[in-house]
């Protein structure tokens, strides 16, 4: 299987160039469309943080969502493990993420995520509604920050799933106080495999570890908060 990476093609380079200044946060959909036509690039979607383009892969239907601004490595890890939790618990409501790339210390790179492509089928009847997700997460003891106000954040997949295609991070207070045995019991009672349980519990533990690492890096020895000035970790 070929190594996954976000390609550095002329279209991506031009988008990055046009948003390199601090005041240039993102491009409008019209600007993205214009550049896509200029460079003959198919664009799956775009938003306030990234542009999504298809990737060629013989075995998987995947896309790359590259960010306008460089994403720190710790943010990339947080996004990846958060999505592992959500897509494992609710495979018909969250696309699978294959990789997430943050900023590297030693060289320039394209940051973003590589994820499962959900092909929009607006005529498909919704079989797996997103409405119940937050309620089910609360039952488990998990709370994520979803922006459910934007219709663009949702796609109806071929399987009838109402997919949330933006990224979401958990509220750390609830994550740190989660009763893991309750989560495991919920998953066992609802027919999840031992592999699924391992993926979710391991991802939660890694998110907690990342939060502790970030707390350590952003506090001076006397307890005062300081700026890291770097990429937040590797």
Residue-wise pLDDT tens digits, 73-89: 999 999 999 999 999 99
Q: Is residue 185 part of a domain?
A: yes
From residue 49, alpha-carbon distances to 29, 90, 115, 122 in Å are 12, 24, 16, 24
Asked whether residue 230 is assigned to any structural domain, the reply reads no
- Phi then psi for residue 109, to 5 deg, are -150, 165
Say if 102 falls within a structural domain: yes
pLDDT digits (tens, 9 = 90+) for 10-54: 999 999 999 988 777 889 999 999 999 999 999 999 988 999 999
91-117 pLDDT per residue, tens: 999 999 999 999 887 777 899 999 999
pLDDT in tens, 139-175: 999 999 998 877 889 999 999 999 999 999 899 888 8
Helix (H) / strand (E) containing 192: none
In a domain, 225, yes or no: no
Domains identified in the chain, total number: 1
230: which residues sit within 8 A by CB, 6+ positions away? Answer: 105
Domain range for 168 is: 10-214
Residue 5 domain-assigned? Answer: no
Residues constituting the chain: 234
30 assigned to some structural domain: yes
């Amino acid at each position: 299987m070929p190594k996954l990476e976000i390609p550095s093609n002329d279209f991506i380079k031009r988008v990055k160039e046009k948003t390199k200044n601090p005041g240039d946060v993102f491009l409008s959909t019209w600007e993205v469309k214009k550049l896509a036509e200029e460079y003959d690039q198919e664009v799956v979607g775009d938003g306030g943080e990234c542009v999504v383009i298809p990737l060629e892969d013989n075995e998987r239907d995947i896309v790359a969502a590259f960010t306008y601004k460089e994403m720190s490595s710790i943010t990339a890890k947080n996004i990846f493990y958060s999505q592992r939790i959500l897509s494992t618990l609710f495979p018909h409501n969250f696309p699978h993420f294959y990789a997430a790339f943050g900023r590297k210390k030693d060289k320039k790179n394209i940051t973003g995520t590589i994820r499962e492509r959900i092909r929009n089928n607006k005529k498909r009847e919704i079989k797996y509604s997103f409405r119940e997700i937050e309620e089910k997460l609360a039952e488990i003891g998990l709370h994520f920050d979803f922006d459910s106000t934007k219709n663009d954040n949702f796609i109806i997949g071929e399987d009838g799933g109402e997919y949330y295609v933006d990224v979401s991070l958990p509220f750390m207070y609830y994550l740190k106080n989660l009763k893991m045995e309750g989560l495991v019991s919920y998953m066992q009672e609802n027919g999840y495999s031992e592999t699924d349980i391992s993926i979710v519990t391991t991802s939660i533990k890694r998110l907690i570890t990342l939060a502790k690492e970030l707390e350590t890096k952003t506090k001076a020895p006397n307890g005062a908060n300081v700026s890291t000035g770097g990429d937040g970790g590797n």
